[in-house]
């Protein structure tokens, strides 16, 4: 809905404003008069204000120039000439989000805060960092790449590459889906920036010179090439005043127009063979990936994008969709590729489908299978009800107020950003209702989806089939090339070059050790922290034996419901399949309907439905465990009755006789879990080393950690035996009978005027009281140290060390929680990330399992990192520390505790906190304990709990690292654990 022009600062020209009722906000568009910079403000009644400035960045190689620049720009600026203003502000802020992103064609710097003083502080720092960065050569050496002698002062030792981004991308390119996507884009986009890896290929990153970085900054980081986006209740004019005063008034318009050109169309489909590094075992069978990708139309055209989403959903939305069903049930591979779906973040969209766990020889059969499915869609179309269900999903996604991951305002900004970066109108991306109405009319034509499938896929010659085979020699080949490159550099060094290399290392170390005057940075103080947090209101309703708790929240027309039961007492074998039981529950058929028909029903009636188990240690005793089973769903209010009935049917008529389906689901789960290691190696390492500290920690490792992944592999392979799948299905059915025999209660979150309907519907749906079993889940107390080295398919290391501590109800829990940030800020960030070159590292107290954990992420080191963990404790006990450092750590904890989530997320969190004894009063008391922590408290808990003899250690790495560190592994007593069974 168009409106009068919005108010603007004098330096900005108002262009328009547009009301989006579905999102309850107004989009205001402005142009900076002098530079042409665009500002889009999403005016909303939200106190969580969001800022983002994006620059179009279009690399023409894989040196990672945009990525390294993103890192380096945050290392000091004109007004804030300190070494690390970004991480310093993380410590002295109440932000709800702070980060920077490098995409394939833009770089963005976003943050969010609920505190206006904090927001202004961060805005001034971000503007200066982006437009007036110092780009010190030492920061380029630290964040990008450099060479050093292995023994820093010894020019006779060999050279090694170092750099944060260099090591980050070694880790990122250990991810097989990342490698697949990169290779597919390389061939789908032979002529544009998407041909290259914007994050940087480790082999090419050392090609980037400091002078090239400067040139890229000067051309790309200019307001003419910038897009400002804001969200919240601060006015656009107030933002613009800061933009103008702190940055824009110093610039004039730039002539250079940076953009991604349209890709030239391929005249015929291509077939490509390539390989990926495989270091996780000797068996290469069924390890090949087969992928087909099509380049579609412009992502900036909302109509084209929604049509592509519609077609993608028709083919792949769920297990009943024709292409998804073919990929899941074929004998040509183990599971659908993780790349399956529509990628619409680049200028031109890409549709992908594929298989993992296959063989190269299946390529032709795979292609034929996919094309047969597409041809069938062209000839026979799909039912009108399916198209309606998919549009229902698009509408629900548009209406939902999210914010449990990224802030809601940032999600909306990122939704609109792509169009803006390609000089197109982003407003339609936020107001999709007009185009949705057009699509609803078009699906009335039975030939519409047929024409769409023919146009976008069947007759589209811009198609690439990629075969990616595992190669056990590729990692060693890369290491050999890296060694040869370093040897050549070494051979060409003059004595002056040697001394320059030594000097660079010393200068960088001195810079990393220097204490900057951080008083020049703005900050919030403990006085700016709200005294308390508001309590959420709720009501309880007795439905005749079943209790319903309702929360009236601003959900924008959605209803969230959960059925909650205590988890029953189960056997050890049932415990091992518990994660599979909960994930399979909504993937099987109901009653007389098979799983495919049930998936279609879910798509038509709800936004999602899934089950999970929720476990926590007691407030005052981590060895005492409570566990609940939860069935959760969300739906539009108009589908309330269908939602409730679907949940009831899921619990009462789920079909555990679909044995073949469950066999496929196990294989799919295994494939997904195996791919998770490179992205979450630090979490898995922490879970492994904490596994002896409490029952919950042990279960985390055994069910969702590395032990769980290995166990899932073993289960998947065992189900090939005769009758094994039937026995597995029978065990799940038995477990389900026990779960549904437990007493249950209900939770519902909806708009205030919908609560009465919710209560009435729940009373009608859940009026039957089932037989009750009162024997609940329990776990044996555990207190033991662990020392493990896990061998996985990763080029980098993930290190963890942990100590048993106390649960949240203990008086020391607050000090231990503050200590995590204190050690990270004061020691670990510098030692592990800046000096050690890991992408990340830190420490934290996890009171739910009564453990204090150290970790590193995508780390080139092993022994030195573990030594740094110990050194941080010595630093804590030895040095004299400042009150400001303590205050910054406290602010970080409070910011985390006070961080908002979505309206529904806040209600669900409040409800489950109460179930586990975390009342509002208990959480407020803990918050006050955090605010009262002293430096002496930190020393005392460090001395009490972080003692060497109490430590457990876990490392996730590869066989090469294991072989090269055999002495260390023996000295530490690390038990070698293979993720691949039988190795």
pLDDT in tens, 139-186: 999 999 999 998 877 888 899 999 999 988 888 777 889 999 999 999
User: Could you report the per-residue pLDDT of 422-456, keeping only the tens digit for each?
Assistant: 999 999 999 999 999 999 999 999 999 999 999 99
Query: Is the predicted pLDDT of residue 810 greater than 50, yes or no?
Result: yes
* DSSP 8-class letter at 34: T
**Residue 782 covered by a domain:** no
At residue 652, the pLDDT reads: 95
* DSSP 8-class letter at 158: P
H or E stretch including 842? strand 840-846
At residue 770, the pLDDT reads: 61
Tokens 């040869």 appear where?
A: 484
Number of domains observed in the structure of the chain: 4
Same domain for 228 and 281, yes or no, is no
User: Could you report the per-residue pLDDT of 855-884, keeping only the tens digit for each?
Assistant: 999 999 999 999 999 999 999 999 999 999
Same domain for 238 and 322, yes or no, is no
CA 523/CA 121 separation, integer angstroms: 7
**Residue 888 covered by a domain:** yes
CA 857/CA 837 separation, integer angstroms: 10
Same domain for 220 and 347, yes or no, is no
Residue 466 pairs in a beta bridge with: 272, 291
Instruction: Output the six-digit token pair for 768.
Output: 């039957």
Residue 563, helix vs strand vs coil: strand
The DSSP bridge pattern shows strands 106-113 and 95-98 to be antiparallel
CA 108/CA 96 separation, integer angstroms: 17
At residue 722, the pLDDT reads: 83
Instruction: Output the six-digit token pair for 19.
Output: 């009301």
**Residue 335 covered by a domain:** yes
At residue 749, the pLDDT reads: 97
Rounded to an integer, the average pLDDT of 331-358 is: 96
Same domain for 884 and 819, yes or no, is yes
Rounded to an integer, the average pLDDT of 520-531 is: 89
Rounded to an integer, the average pLDDT of 754-765 is: 96
Q: pLDDT category, 401, cuts 50, 70, 90?
A: confident
At residue 1, the pLDDT reads: 54
Same domain for 544 and 427, yes or no, is no
Integer CA distances (angstroms), 506 to 43, 148, 277, in order: 50, 10, 35
Contacting residues for 521 by C-beta, under 8 A, at least 6 apart: 80, 82, 85, 88, 89, 92, 121, 125
Same domain for 17 and 73, yes or no, is yes
CA 306/CA 442 separation, integer angstroms: 12
**Phi-psi category of 293—alpha, beta or left, where left has phi over 0 and alpha has psi -120 to 50?**
beta
The DSSP bridge pattern shows strands 49-56 and 38-43 to be unpaired
Residue 70, helix vs strand vs coil: helix
**Residue 484 covered by a domain:** no
CA 506/CA 775 separation, integer angstroms: 64
Q: pLDDT category, 742, cuts 50, 70, 90?
A: very high
**Average pLDDT across the chain, whole number:** 94
Query: Biggest alpha carbon distance in the chain?
Result: 87
CA 9/CA 237 separation, integer angstroms: 5
Same domain for 8 and 132, yes or no, is yes
Three-class DSSP labels, 484-506:
HHHHHHHHCCCHHHHHHHHHHHH
At residue 795, the pLDDT reads: 85
Q: Which of 444, 471, 498 is the last residue of a domain?
A: 471
Rounded to an integer, the average pLDDT of 712-726 is: 91
At residue 410, the pLDDT reads: 96
Rounded to an integer, the average pLDDT of 834-852 is: 94
Rounded to an integer, the average pLDDT of 265-283 is: 89
Same domain for 279 and 248, yes or no, is no
CA 977/CA 968 separation, integer angstroms: 16
Q: Which of 455, 471, 487 is the last residue of a domain?
A: 471
* DSSP 8-class letter at 270: E
**Residue 348 covered by a domain:** yes
* DSSP 8-class letter at 207: G
Same domain for 305 and 431, yes or no, is yes
Same domain for 251 and 274, yes or no, is no
Residue 548, helix vs strand vs coil: strand
**Do residues 26 and 74 lie in contact, with contact meaning Cβ atoms separated by under 8 Å?**
no
Nearest to 476 by CA among 206, 200, 178, 277: 277
* DSSP 8-class letter at 753: G
Residue 99, helix vs strand vs coil: coil
At residue 771, the pLDDT reads: 57
Query: Is the predicted pLDDT of residue 787 greater than 70, yes or no?
Result: yes
Instruction: Output the six-digit token pair for 500.
Output: 């320059």
Nearest to 304 by CA among 432, 403, 125, 210: 432
Residue 542 pairs in a beta bridge with: 547
Handedness of CA 364, 371, 293, 172 (dihedral sign): negative
Q: pLDDT category, 769, cuts 50, 70, 90?
A: low
Q: Which of 205, 232, 256 is the last residue of a domain?
A: 256
Same domain for 244 and 275, yes or no, is no
Same domain for 210 and 301, yes or no, is no
925-930: Cβ within 8 A, 24+ apart: 926/808, 926/813, 926/814, 927/532, 927/533, 927/894, 927/897, 929/811, 929/813, 929/814, 930/814, 930/817, 930/818, 930/890, 930/893, 930/894, 930/897
Q: pLDDT category, 513, cuts 50, 70, 90?
A: confident
Nearest to 407 by CA among 113, 123, 119, 634: 113
Query: Is the predicted pLDDT of residue 25 greater than 80, yes or no?
Result: yes
At residue 364, the pLDDT reads: 97
At residue 793, the pLDDT reads: 85
Burial class (CB in 10 A: 0-12, 13-18, 19+), 721: exposed
Integer CA distances (angstroms), 734 to 579, 585, 630, 731, in order: 15, 13, 18, 5
Phi, psi of 552 (to 5 degrees): -90, 105
Q: Which domain covers residue 467, as residue numbers?
A: 270-471
pTM of the predicted protein model: 0.93
**Residue 9 covered by a domain:** yes
CATH number at residue 967: 3.30.830.10
CA 260/CA 257 separation, integer angstroms: 10
Query: Is the predicted pLDDT of residue 772 greater than 80, yes or no?
Result: no
> 9-42 b/e with 16+ CB inside 10 Å = b?
bebbebeebbebebbebbbbbbebbbbebbbbbb
Instruction: Output the six-digit token pair for 136.
Output: 């010190």
CA 56/CA 258 separation, integer angstroms: 7
**Residue 823 covered by a domain:** yes
Q: At what angle do helices 65-73 and 164-172 cross, to 10 degrees?
A: 130
At residue 983, the pLDDT reads: 45
**Residue 250 covered by a domain:** yes
């Amino acid at each position: 809905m168009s409106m009068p022009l919005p108010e603007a600062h004098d330096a900005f020209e108002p262009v328009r404003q547009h009301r989006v009722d579905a999102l309850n906000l107004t989009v205001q568009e402005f142009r900076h008069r002098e530079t042409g910079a665009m500002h889009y403000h999403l005016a909303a009644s939200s106190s969580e204000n969001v800022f983002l400035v994006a620059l179009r960045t279009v690399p023409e190689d894989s040196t990672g120039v945009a990525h390294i620049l993103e890192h380096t720009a945050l290392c000091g600026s004109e007004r804030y000439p300190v070494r690390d203003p970004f991480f310093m502000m993380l410590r002295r802020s109440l932000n709800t989000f702070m980060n920077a992103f490098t995409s394939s064609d833009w770089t963005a710097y976003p943050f969010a805060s609920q505190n206006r003083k904090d927001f202004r502080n961060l805005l001034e720092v971000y503007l200066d960092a982006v437009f007036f960065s110092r780009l010190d050569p030492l920061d380029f050496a630290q964040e990008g790449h450099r060479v050093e002698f292995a023994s820093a002062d010894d020019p006779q030792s060999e050279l090694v590459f170092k750099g944060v981004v260099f090591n980050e991308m070694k880790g990122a390119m250990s991810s097989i889906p990342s490698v697949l996507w990169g290779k597919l884009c390389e061939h789908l986009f032979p002529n544009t920036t998407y041909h290259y890896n914007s994050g940087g290929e480790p082999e090419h990153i050392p090609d980037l010179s400091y002078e090239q970085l400067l040139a890229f900054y000067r051309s790309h980081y200019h307001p003419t090439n910038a897009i400002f986006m804001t969200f919240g209740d601060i006015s656009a004019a107030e933002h613009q005043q800061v933009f103008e005063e702190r940055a824009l008034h110093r610039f004039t318009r730039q002539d250079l127009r940076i953009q991604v050109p349209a890709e030239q169309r391929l005249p015929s489909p291509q077939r490509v063979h390539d390989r990926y590094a495989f270091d996780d075992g000797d068996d290469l069978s069924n390890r090949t990936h087969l992928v087909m990708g099509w380049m579609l139309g412009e992502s900036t055209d909302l109509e084209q994008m929604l049509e592509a989403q519609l077609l993608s959903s028709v083919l792949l939305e769920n297990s009943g969709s024709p292409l998804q069903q073919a990929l899941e049930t074929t004998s040509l591979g183990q599971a659908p590729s993780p790349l399956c779906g529509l990628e619409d973040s680049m200028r031109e969209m890409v549709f992908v489908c594929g298989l993992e766990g296959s063989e190269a020889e299946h390529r032709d059969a795979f292609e034929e299978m996919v094309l047969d499915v597409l041809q069938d869609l062209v000839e026979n179309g799909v039912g009108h009800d399916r198209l309606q269900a998919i549009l229902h999903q698009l509408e629900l996604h548009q209406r939902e107020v999210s914010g449990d991951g990224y802030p809601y305002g940032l999600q909306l900004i990122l939704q609109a950003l792509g169009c803006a970066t390609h000089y197109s109108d982003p407003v339609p991306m936020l107001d999709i209702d007009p185009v949705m109405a057009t699509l609803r009319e078009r699906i009335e034509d039975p030939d519409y989806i047929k024409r769409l499938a023919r146009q976008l896929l069947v007759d589209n010659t811009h198609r690439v089939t990629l075969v990616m085979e595992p190669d056990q020699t590729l990692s060693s080949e890369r290491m050999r090339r890296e060694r040869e490159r370093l040897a050549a550099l070494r051979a060409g060094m003059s004595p002056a070059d040697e001394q320059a290399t030594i000097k660079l290392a010393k200068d960088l170390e001195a810079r990393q050790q220097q204490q900057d005057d951080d008083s020049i940075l703005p900050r919030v103080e403990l006085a700016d922290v709200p005294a308390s947090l508001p309590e959420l209101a709720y009501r309880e309703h007795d439905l005749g034996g079943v209790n319903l708790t309702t929360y009236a929240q601003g959900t924008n027309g959605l209803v969230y419901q959960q059925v909650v039961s205590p988890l029953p007492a189960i056997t050890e074998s049932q415990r091992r399949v518990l994660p599979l039981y909960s994930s399979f529950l909504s993937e099987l058929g109901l009653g007389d309907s098979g799983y495919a028909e049930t998936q279609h029903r879910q798509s038509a009636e709800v936004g999602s439905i899934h089950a999970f188990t929720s476990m926590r240690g007691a407030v005052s005793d981590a060895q005492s465990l409570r566990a609940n089973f939860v069935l959760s769903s969300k739906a539009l209010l108009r589908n309330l009755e269908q939602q409730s009935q679907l949940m009831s049917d899921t619990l009462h008529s789920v079909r555990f006789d679909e044995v073949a389906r469950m066999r496929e689901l196990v294989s799919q789960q295994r494939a997904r879990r195996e791919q998770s290691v490179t992205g979450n190696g630090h979490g898995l390492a922490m879970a492994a080393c904490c596994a002896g500290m409490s029952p919950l920690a042990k279960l985390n490792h055994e069910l969702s950690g590395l032990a769980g992944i290995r166990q899932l592999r073993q289960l998947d392979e065992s189900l090939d035996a005769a009758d094994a799948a039937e026995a597995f299905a029978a065990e799940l059915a038995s477990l389900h009978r026990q779960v549904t025999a437990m007493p249950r209660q209900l939770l519902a979150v909806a708009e205030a005027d919908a609560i009465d309907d919710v209560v009435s519907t729940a009373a009608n749906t859940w009026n039957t009281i089932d037989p009750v079993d009162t024997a609940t889940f329990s776990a044996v107390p555990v207190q033991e140290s662990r020392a493990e080295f896990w061998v996985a398919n990763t080029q980098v290391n993930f290190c963890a060390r942990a100590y048993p501590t106390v649960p949240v109800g203990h008086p020391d829990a607050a000090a231990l929680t503050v200590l995590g940030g204190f050690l990270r800020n004061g020691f670990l960030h510098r030692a592990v990330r800046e000096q050690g070159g890991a992408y990340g590292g830190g420490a934290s107290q996890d009171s739910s399992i009564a453990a204090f954990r150290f970790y590193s992420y995508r780390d080139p080191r092993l022994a030195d990192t573990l030594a740094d963990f110990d050194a941080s404790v010595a630093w804590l006990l030895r040095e004299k520390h400042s009150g400001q450092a303590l205050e910054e750590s406290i602010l970080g904890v409070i910011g985390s505790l006070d961080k908002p989530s979505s309206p529904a997320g806040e209600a669900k969190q409040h409800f489950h906190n109460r179930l586990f004894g975390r009342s509002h009063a208990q959480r407020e008391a803990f918050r006050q304990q955090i605010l009262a922590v002293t430096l002496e408290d930190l020393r005392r808990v460090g001395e009490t709990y972080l003692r060497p003899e109490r430590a457990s250690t876990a490392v996730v790495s590869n066989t090469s690292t294991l072989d090269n560190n055999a002495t260390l592994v023996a000295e530490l007593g690390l038990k070698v654990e293979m993720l691949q069974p039988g190795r």
